Chain A
């Protein structure tokens, strides 16, 4: 692996996006826009919004990063650039980590904007403080990037890649504890929730909302999210083959 080649890949991905202003704008604006709508959905129940908003704050960036990353890597396969790069003197990790770094930077900006909107504009209060919220949001956005890199290997068309979101992310969303507390779900779904990464990123946001101090539970959640992300990145590099 070479740092120079990894950063060159990250820079290249960002340069590509810099020529696509509309996509950049959507990345930065969409999560905040949705949260603003949600605020007025819960117009009559501000306390509920206060509980739900931080959790949603972790889910939107994950979902958006998942879709963008899987489409971006799928495109790289279909236009043949991955084909060319795989004959180059590079490590597959230069490619994977390059993507991860580029999207991490975007995820960070997105998280900062969305957090500012939720905590500032929408007046949501969290016990754990702004920094902890941003850490939680960036972690979940990174998880989305890693999962997107991995899942894109299983899509052979853009139509398939787009549908991985409802097929792969939505089930996790349904059981993560946002709609119904996890211990009230059917046991099978509880087990399912226990092994799914989104559960832990949502749980981390819940910890941040409810506790004024950094809890052991929060550390555990973030470690699990990080571990899932790391495993997904490694699996993603296995799905890219030198020889097909």
Chain B
């Protein structure tokens, strides 16, 4: 297995007291959709921010694509979508994507094609020249996702990419994720919605800053003798208590 992310004994503190991540160790395989699953406040976003190099870690090491997390060489090889939409409401979809693409380093000659491909991938062609503030919540989410797709990064780290999307859209986004992994892209997504978990290739269950369990959805169900990831999560929480 090719490892895309290696987390070793990582702890993150907020202030002196609050332990956001407590001695977390993980090895995540490349070319998969990996789900960080857990309730809000579990530490998913903190782990994601540590992986993309935005969060200072108190202890431990994180390796991303063979380099230490936050290394400058990584910036053109991965993308990060935050939980907020992190797009400019007072720009049109085209202006916003063109800006991010320029900042990501897309060449001028490739720009037109790039923007075309991006709005195509998230099915937003009719809204390309609309102001982002006039879009619906789900549409904004897709623009934010499009920005994470710029220049086909090897690794995409997406914080709650499908939250608040309607079922049809969610299906489309998952089709897109599948297409991307087939092309070799690695995706890390977080979610607090358990039925999302069943679709991931591999899962990391997080709670109170600790990793409860790791494995494929089938493995987790089998190990806990349950029918769904939701039930196995609950069972794991109870047995840990």
Residue ranges of A at the interface with B (Cβ–Cβ < 8 Å):
4-5, 8-9, 11-12, 15-17, 19-20, 79-81, 83-90, 94, 242-244
Q: Can you list 27 contacts pairing A with B, beta carbon distance less than 8 Å?
A: A5-B102, A5-B103, A15-B91, A15-B95, A19-B91, A19-B131, A79-B84, A79-B89, A80-B82, A80-B84, A80-B86, A81-B87, A83-B82, A83-B86, A84-B81, A84-B82, A87-B78, A87-B80, A88-B100, A88-B103, A89-B75, A94-B103, A242-B54, A242-B70, A243-B55, A243-B56, A244-B56
Q: Which residues of B contact A (CB under 8 A)?
A: 49, 52-56, 70, 72, 75-76, 78-91, 95, 99-100, 102-105, 131, 147
Residues of A within 8 A of B86 (CB): 79-81, 83-84
Contact status A86-B87, CB under 8 Å: no
- Asked whether, in the complex, the Cβ of B54 is within 8 Å of the Cβ of A83, the reply is yes
Question: CB-CB < 8 A to A15: which residues of B?
Answer: 91, 95
Residues of chain A with a CB closer than 8 A to B83's CB: 80
Query: Within the assembled complex, what's the spacing in Å between the Cα atoms of A79 and B88?
Result: 8
Task: Report how far A80 CA is from B54 CA in the complex, Å.
Answer: 12
- Which chain B residue shows the least CB distance to A7? B102
B82 and A8: CB pair below 8 A?
Answer: no
Q: Which residues of A contact B103 (CB under 8 A)?
A: 5, 8-9, 85, 88-90, 94
Chain A residue with minimal CB distance to B131?
A: A19
Q: Which residues of B contact A17 (CB under 8 A)?
A: 90
Taking the closest CB of chain A, its distance from the CB of B35, in whole angstroms, is 21
| Alpha-carbon gap, A146 to B22, bound state (A) | 40
Given contacts A5-B103, A87-B75, contact A244 B54 (CB under 8 A): yes
